[in-house]
A = this chain, B = another copy of it.
Amino acid sequence: MDATEFRKRGKEMVDYIADYLETIEKRRVYPDVEPGYLRPHIPDSAPEEPERFEDILKDVEKIIMPGASSPACTELETVMLDWLGKMINLPPSFLAEKDGEGGGVIQGTASEATLVALLAARTKAIQRAQSENGTLTQGDVIGRLVAYTSDQAHSSVEKDGLIAGVKTKQLPTDDAFAVRGSALRKAVDQDKAAGLIPFFFCATLGTTTCCSFDKLSELGPICNEENIWMHVDAAYAGSSFICPEFRHLLNGVEFADSFNFNPHKWLLVNFDCSTMWVKKRTDLTCAFKIDPVYLKHAHQESGLITDYRHWQIPLGRRFRSLKMWFVFRMYGVKGLQEYIRKHVKLAHEFKDLVLQDDRFEICADVILGLVCFRLKGTNELNEALLKNINASRKIHLVPCNLRGKFVLRFAVCARTVESAHVQFAWKHITKLAGELLKAQKQQD
């Protein structure tokens, strides 16, 4: 949607809201629909081709408004998570469909998704330990639990461990910054011998630092064998899995208990929208379910409905699946695939520019939209380069530390990015690098 159409559609939406407010007394105070009313009105999967805005808005009035905020908010979310799950070819065991044991939910951020998975895993681990040894208290078990993640994983995993009160250990990664099965095997064996209980592994697909991918197909079988909950955090990379050529990066997810990525990062859905799937929804509800009278409802125990409040930390919820519905239909799967492919292509264009300049080096495989690079030389030199780049305020880069090396990260992520921007950025970087190296030479 270009700016001209945005002006038109935006103003139509303003009128739609104003009309709604002016005529609200003509509407029902409570929806007159049965559980599961929404799914039959909506296709089983996202459209391949883009649809027209006016058709989507007609469906809002026809399908959403009769279901008001509840149950429409819940039911559209379940169906949208099925759509998106199919778009990335997630194993059917993660889908809700009509009577699946799994299903998806929108969390606010990947940190929350990891925390929810960690807490569900903790509940299962406590129950298992207590069923094997009835004298153990909850505190006894928690004190022995140990969670694992990559030494390249996002810091939020460590924070989630703090919240849950469990030990978190970072596993060493290989030359491609990936956790391998051997590293997990070694840690599990050592910790079990020391009397600890390994219970949770957070694998990362597309690390924040350098977009590396843990080896799920090696790690998954170990987790399954050892009763370790495997959560897969693909916060950034997950969006790319809608393209068949990147889907192999998700191989091994069939061993996972939960999977999460952020459409708000790279799938044109506005913040916040972090999508999470579990194989067994009862794993979540057992960890969180508390039912006071004022939250009871007629369909409570029917098994027909989903109470997302048992799937998350907060109680209240927003209608975030509308964003997914609009975006998937406005772009179509093909449009979204084009968008991802363009970004990856531009990242490779930048990588090629770096490789053509002998003063620079590439520091990690370029797989998606991130390029890790640096000037050959000291960390101080690269810190100075970053400082100059960001001080000039023409582009903005965020650094990382890879095995002691200070590394610059070029991330292709804006909606409107073109080759001209990449060329501009590289020209700017090389200009500042040239000035810096010249000044340094004069000092020597």
Bound form: Cα–Cα A230–B144 in Å: 30
A25: min CB distance to chain B, Å: 9
A54 on the B face (CB < 8 A): no
State whether B28 touches A393 (Cβ < 8 A).
Answer: yes
B163 touches A119 (CB 8 A): yes
A315 contacts B139, C-beta separation under 8 Å:
no
Determine if B163 and A142 form an interchain contact, defined as CB atoms under 8 angstroms apart.
no
How many chain copies? Answer: 2
Cα A155 to Cα B296 in complex, Å, equals: 12
A155-B291, A165-B164 known; A313 and B7 CB under 8 Å?
A: no
Residues of chain B within 8 A (CB-CB) of A17 are 6, 10
Contact B143 A292 (CB under 8 A): no
Knowing A3-B18, A155-B291, the reply to whether A30 touches B396 (Cβ < 8 A) is: yes
Report how far A398 CA is from B409 CA in the complex, Å: 53
Please indicate the chain B residues that have their CB under 8 angstroms from the CB of A24 in the complex. Answer: 416
Category for how many chain A residues contact B: 35 or more
How far apart are the CA atoms of A314 and B138 in the complex, in Å? 26
Of B109, B137, B396, the residue contacting A314 (CB under 8 A) is B109
Is B10 a contact of A162 with CB atoms below 8 Å? no
As a 0/1 sequence over residues 416 to 437 of chain A, the CB contacts with chain B under 8 angstroms (1 = contact) are 1000000000000000000000
* Residues in B neighbouring A287, C-beta threshold 8 A: 162
User: What per-residue 1/0 map shows which CB atoms of A235-248 lie under 8 Å from chain B?
Assistant: 00000000000000
Residues of A within 8 A of B (CB): 3, 6-7, 10-11, 13-15, 17-18, 21-22, 24, 28-30, 32, 108-112, 115, 119, 122, 137-140, 142-144, 154-156, 158-159, 162-165, 208-209, 271-272, 287-288, 290-295, 313-316, 318, 390, 393-396, 398-401, 409, 416
